A and B are shown apart, each in its own frame.
Chain A
Amino acid sequence: MIYPYTGRDLFAEPESYAYAKCDGADFLDDWKTSRTAAMESLAVRAMESVTEVGTPHETLPADAITLKLILQKAPTSVAVLEPWIIKFEVFGRLFEWYRDDGRRHPDSSTARPATYILFAERLCDIAEESGSLKFLSTLLKICDALASQPITVFRPSEAGALSALFIRELSLVTTLIEAE
């Protein structure tokens, strides 16, 4: 079987995960195989000598704050992450800019890969520290969505970071399996 949750762009067309059929004996192996294949592609991408140009300069509107900055300010705060987890769980995607009231800024683009990776790293930090299954569940979903992207959307440095994230994700699941 093929792991069924990375076959389309999940940021564009979010997955509901409702009544997921995952009782097959091979389901876990299929997931690991999918992640391993993604990591192999990411390793190649990470070694490519692509000239990394900076993010296109966009003037931040006065009434906007970047999600990246929010995530950088409070690296392991559950309370700070919670609203973004809810947004991701409900809408399946995030945006680069938000307003003070937590709503997306009307001029914002969807979040860039680097922002999603940072968000996932924060989830991973808390899941590792607390053993929280809630954070691990959302981490698994965002990793699905990142794995569903064409490899070329990631800069080489992002490809390396995402590969490292997948290794941490696998380690968290392995810990759960070993606890059985």
Chain B
Amino acid sequence: MTATLDDVALISGPSARSRAYAQGMIAAGILPGTILYQPGEEWRWDGPDVIDVDLMGDGVPFRFLPNEPARTTFGGADVVSHELTTAPIDDDANLALFADLSVEVLIFSGYRTGILRKAAFDIGKRFLHVHGGYVPSYRGSTTFYYSILSDGMMGASAIWMDSGIDTGPVLARRQYSVPLGIDIDYVLDPLVRADTLVNVLTYRSQRGQWPETEHLSAGDGETFHKIHPVLKHLALRRSGLVQGGHR
């Protein structure tokens, strides 16, 4: 049984994260009402074609096919789709298209776009973003690595985007232990975000409403910058991704 969220559009890039979002949604039996495909060359993964990751340690792995483009995953689904002509989602042409869509929520998957410019918040739609960190402790960039080093965990937070850096109202936030030996940037990062996204969409699908939001002060917690490679290396060691690494 598949549920379609007619008021939700997924903005899908040719990226690992969009693929994980698509595969997570299909596995959960949830479809967006509309899919907006961003242009760009499809990303290519050189590792295994199938990766099973038991994110919650509950014996139910997320089966990830890194090389399967989102449009292939959604191929058989009866969903309205549009091809965007430019990738940055806050480009004027894209915002004009979004404004005309009969959806209320756009799922942002981050491809070729960072912080949205103000005009994006003036089109009467909400952007749902899953940040790769447990807010407010971990806002900003590469927070997976910082949290692995500090807490031995990864986190994700589903938020309604605002003009700040990961400061919007929080729909859900989850923490995950770090399975050893699994690539972080292209596998764990997308899967953890996808799992949190699917959690929120499942709630929406089953209850007909979005989860109540938490409003966390923008002044609380820490906003991180891209992690230095020496610290990233230490986080990789703890994740079993460097020869001689250990926890």
B236 part of interface (Cβ distance < 8 Å): yes
- Complex Cα distance, B245 from A24, in Å, reads 11
Check B243 against A25 for contact (C-beta < 8 Å): yes
Residues of B within 8 A of A86 (CB): 225
Residues of A within 8 A of B241 (CB): 23
Check A140 against B242 for contact (C-beta < 8 Å): no
Q: Which residue of B lies closest to A132 (CB)?
A: B222
Check A17 against B222 for contact (C-beta < 8 Å): no
A115 part of interface (Cβ distance < 8 Å): no
A167 part of interface (Cβ distance < 8 Å): no
Of residues 121 through 145 on chain A, the ones whose CB sits less than 8 Å from some CB of chain B are 133-134, 136-138, 140-141, 144
Question: Which of A16, A133, A144 contacts B226 (CB under 8 A)?
Answer: A16
A20 part of interface (Cβ distance < 8 Å): yes
Mark the stretch among B21-29, B194-202, B227-235 that contacts chain A. B227-235
Residues of A within 8 A of B230 (CB): 22, 27-28, 31, 140, 173
Check A22 against B146 for contact (C-beta < 8 Å): no
B185 part of interface (Cβ distance < 8 Å): yes
Size category of the B interface is 20 to 34
Q: How many residues of A contact B (CB 8 A)?
A: 28
Residues of B within 8 A of A136 (CB): 228, 231
- Complex Cα distance, B232 from A30, in Å, reads 14
Question: Which of B225, B228, B242 contacts A23 (CB under 8 A)?
Answer: B242
Of residues 20 through 51 on chain A, the ones whose CB sits less than 8 Å from some CB of chain B are 20, 22-25, 27-28, 31
Residues of B within 8 A of A25 (CB): 242-244
Q: Which residue of B lies closest to A173 (CB)?
A: B230
Check B225 against A134 for contact (C-beta < 8 Å): yes
Residues of B within 8 A of A134 (CB): 146, 222, 224-225
| A residues at B contact (CB < 8 Å) | 5, 16-20, 22-25, 27-28, 31, 85-86, 89, 133-134, 136-138, 140-141, 144, 173, 176-177, 180
| B residues at A contact (CB < 8 Å) | 146, 149-150, 185, 222, 224-234, 236-238, 241-244, 246-247
| Apart from A18-B226, A89-B225, A137-B228: 6 A-B pairs, beta carbons within 8 A | A17-B229, A20-B229, A22-B233, A27-B230, A89-B226, A177-B234
Q: Pick 24 A–B contacts, CB within 8 A, sort by A.
A: A17-B227, A18-B226, A20-B229, A22-B229, A22-B232, A25-B242, A31-B230, A133-B146, A133-B149, A134-B146, A134-B222, A134-B225, A136-B228, A137-B224, A137-B228, A138-B225, A140-B228, A140-B230, A144-B228, A173-B234, A176-B234, A180-B234, A180-B237, A180-B247
